Structure 1
Amino acid sequence: MERMAIHKALGGTSAGELICLKGWVRTLRTGKDVAFFALNDGSCFASLQVVVTPQLPNYEELVKIGTGACLSVQGVLVESPAAGQRWEVQAQKVEVLGDADSDYPLQKKRHSLEFLRSIAHLRPRSNTFGAVFRLRSALSFAIHRFFHERGFLYVHTPIITANDCEGAGEMFRVTTLDSENPPRNSGNIDWSQDFFGERTGLTVSGQLQGELFATAFSDIYTFGPTFRAENSNTSRHAAEFWMIEPEMAFADLEDDCRLAEDFLRYLVTYTLQHCGEDLAFFNERVEKGLLDKLQALAKARFETMTYSEAVSRLQASGESFQFPVAWGRDLQSEHERYLTEKVVGGPVFVTDYPVGIKAFYMRLNNDERTVAAMDLLVPRVGEIIGGSQREERLPVLQRRMEESGIAPESLWWYLDTRRWGSCPHAGFGLGFERLLMYLTGMENIRDVIPFPRTPGNARF
């Protein structure tokens, strides 16, 4: 008999139907001549109760299995007399596919997130992480669906690169050279003898390559892993994370903001419509008021203010911020939250940042003091999306690279797009894990990544 997923058994079958289920035992209760298994296969948040009686030839074996055991169950779906559940299965045949030793760490009690991180190979079986990773999967699909519906081309940009998009130098090196005795030239490592013939690392962004494709396909997006060798142990940083980076030809900063608003609203709405059971769990157990927050964002009006206006409002607020506010300094999370929660009361785009705190590829405004950049700020979090109109003028881009300490010849292929058919274009980046933290209420980025990579930790 073909296996039926538990979410289908709970929602799309009728009483009296003979079904086959396979999954893992969450809990086991025994009574007089009866045993109850809560079986879960990960297809939904809920478990399905399986009723086992001594009529089964292996009943005595079954009542001794451990929590976490894997079972195959054939039985009849019936309405449950117990409160809190509509259906249960009267078992006719139960096969133990894999028993679990008594030291199985996921027993029926609440475990701390710190403890669950230490058993990342088992934590997907817990309620919390089952909900997190179902939502992560659903959102991945929604991202592709959003761009597909709008005619964007999906581009796989390289994971190994010789270029540092952000210019920060925080890249993991990729090399086949002997670390104890690398070849040298005038005392320096001779990277020409490395596998790729030059110094390479793991990418921090697919943006530059994405821009190349935008000059051929107009609207494109990338969605893949990125890496940053930043020795940070905060709850918002990881060494490996996923980025969504759309790029649009023939677009300016206003177009960029409009796409970012549509994108975020679409994803929030999709989550509310398709992940209700898991969101209800997060709302109850992780962040009280999460559903209200998401519903408000889905309907909110997105405001816009310039960086200069934002600084003026912060300085006039009378608030005592931990980090002083001054024109030319980057906004901190406390400033961004104040703008969204106290000044605007909702999401806001902050635009036109000082040239000194933004990347070389952002388009220089006519005042030559600011660039056509934007950050989308949301309540409770602050920045969630960052983007800009790109600098399409070759002489200006070359000058900005030199001012940023980037040798123009190192990105000759990037500059070629400004020589041959240059066009206005814009794009943004959204950290997938930051989005998941916002949608689930989880406070640590390690808890929305299946196997987090952080300083000192690359287990599993």
Structure 2
Amino acid sequence: MRIRNTLSFATHSFFNGQGFLDVQIPIITTTDYEEFGKLFQVAGLEQKPDKHKLSTIHETDGVSLDIVKAAAKEKSNIVETLKRTEGNREALAAAVQDLRKTNELVSQLEAIEKKNLKSLSSKDEVVDASRDLFLTVSGRLHLESYACALGNVYLFGPRFQADKTYSAKYALEMWMVEVEMAFSQLRDAMNCASDYFNHLIMYVLETCHEDMKFIAKRIETPASLVFSRLRQVFLKCFPTMKS
């Protein structure tokens, strides 16, 4: 965590030193930047139920489930009353038969209601931006707008991708640095990326010496080898494009 904190601080110090402006974007969004794909859907605000749809759930062909349940309860009381008296056995048998049919109707209506509720709550496969919300996969679309107004800008924050290989509720989280340089050439952008990478290495070597030694010990690698590799990367000349 100390190394992570150092890298985070170094990121902000580098871009601020280069005249970049740190901007923030919404984590929950409706946009899919250039059809990046693998959107992870989240629940939006609870919408008020459609009264017309709910009424059709409780009524099928003019038959109300609540009324049928009330009728079944009343007929059940009649059967219990006939059982306690020495009345006509034929009347008792007819009441029991009537109650059985009513209970069957209640079961059928409950099954239809359950099916309708499931259908009502299911989501369409087509993305509806007015309803569906997702965790952001990239902030480039926002950065382009900011760059046009503010100049060089950058983002540093979490990004998400859906991975349905394991589960529909499985999301990958990563922290990304995204940069947009207004009115700059590709060569300038590549040089900026190289300078940023070298800045991180130098900052870690200067600030996290003891932590790097601890990591080297845990992976059974000599600390000197870890530091030498980082220095080699720092001194390496990255290929750049010439104008």
| TM-score category (smaller protein) | 0.5 to 0.7
The question of 1:253 aligning with 2:189 is answered: no
Q: Give unmatched runs, 5+ long, in structure 1.
A: 1-132, 306-460
Q: 3-state SS of the aligned residue for 2:33?
A: coil
Q: Assess if the C-alpha contact under 8 Å between 1:183 and 1:190 holds in 2.
A: no
Q: Assess if the C-alpha contact under 8 Å between 2:191 and 2:240 holds in 1.
A: no
Q: 3-state SS of the aligned residue for 1:297?
A: helix
Q: Assess if the C-alpha contact under 8 Å between 1:282 and 1:290 holds in 2.
A: no
Residue aligning to 2:27: 159
Q: Assess if the C-alpha contact under 8 Å between 1:221 and 1:244 holds in 2.
A: yes
Q: Assess if the C-alpha contact under 8 Å between 1:183 and 1:189 holds in 2.
A: no
What letter is aligned with 2:191? R
Q: Give unmatched runs, 5+ long, in structure 2.
A: 48-116
* Structure (1 or 2) with the larger CA radius of gyration: 2
Separation (CA, whole Å) in 1 of partners of 2:182 and 2:35: 23
Shift of 1:290: 2.0
Of 219, 222, 229, which aligns to 2:162? 229
Q: 1:301 to 1:200 in 2, by over 3 A?
A: same
Residue aligning to 1:296: 232
CA RMSD of aligned residues (A): 2.8
What letter is aligned with 1:211? E
Shift of 1:230: 2.3
Of 214, 219, 230, which aligns to 1:286? 219
Q: 3-state SS of the aligned residue for 1:140?
A: helix
Residue aligning to 2:38: 170
Q: Assess if the C-alpha contact under 8 Å between 1:152 and 1:221 holds in 2.
A: yes
Instruction: Write out per-residue CA displacement over residues 62-92 of structure 1, whole angstroms, 9 at most, x where no aligned residue.
Output: xxxxxxxxxxxxxxxxxxxxxxxxxxxxxxx
Shift of 1:198: 2.9
What letter is aligned with 1:303? P
TM normalised by structure 2 equals 0.60
TM normalised by structure 1 equals 0.33
Residue aligning to 1:202: 135
Of 184, 208, 211, which aligns to 1:275? 208
Residue aligning to 1:115: none
Q: 3-state SS of the aligned residue for 1:157?
A: coil
Write out the 4+ residue segments of structure 1 that deviate beyond 3 Å after TM superposition.
Answer: 176-184, 187-192
Shift of 1:175: 2.5
Q: 3-state SS of the aligned residue for 1:228?
A: strand
Instruction: Write out per-residue CA displacement over residues 118-177 of structure 1, whole angstroms, 9 at most, x where no aligned residue.
Output: xxxxxxxxxxxxxxx110011111111111111211111111111112524201112236
Of 129, 138, 141, which aligns to 2:6? 138
What letter is aligned with 1:151? G
Instruction: Write out per-residue CA displacement over residues 35-54 of structure 1, whole angstroms, 9 at most, x where no aligned residue.
Output: xxxxxxxxxxxxxxxxxxxx
What letter is aligned with 2:140? Q
What letter is aligned with 1:262? D
Q: Assess if the C-alpha contact under 8 Å between 2:155 and 2:177 holds in 1.
A: yes
Q: 3-state SS of the aligned residue for 1:261?
A: helix
Residue aligning to 2:195: 262
Q: Assess if the C-alpha contact under 8 Å between 2:137 and 2:161 holds in 1.
A: yes
Separation (CA, whole Å) in 1 of partners of 2:19 and 2:2: 26
Greater per-residue helix proportion: 2
Q: 1:154 to 1:272 in 2, by over 3 A?
A: same
Q: 1:151 to 1:159 in 2, by over 3 A?
A: same
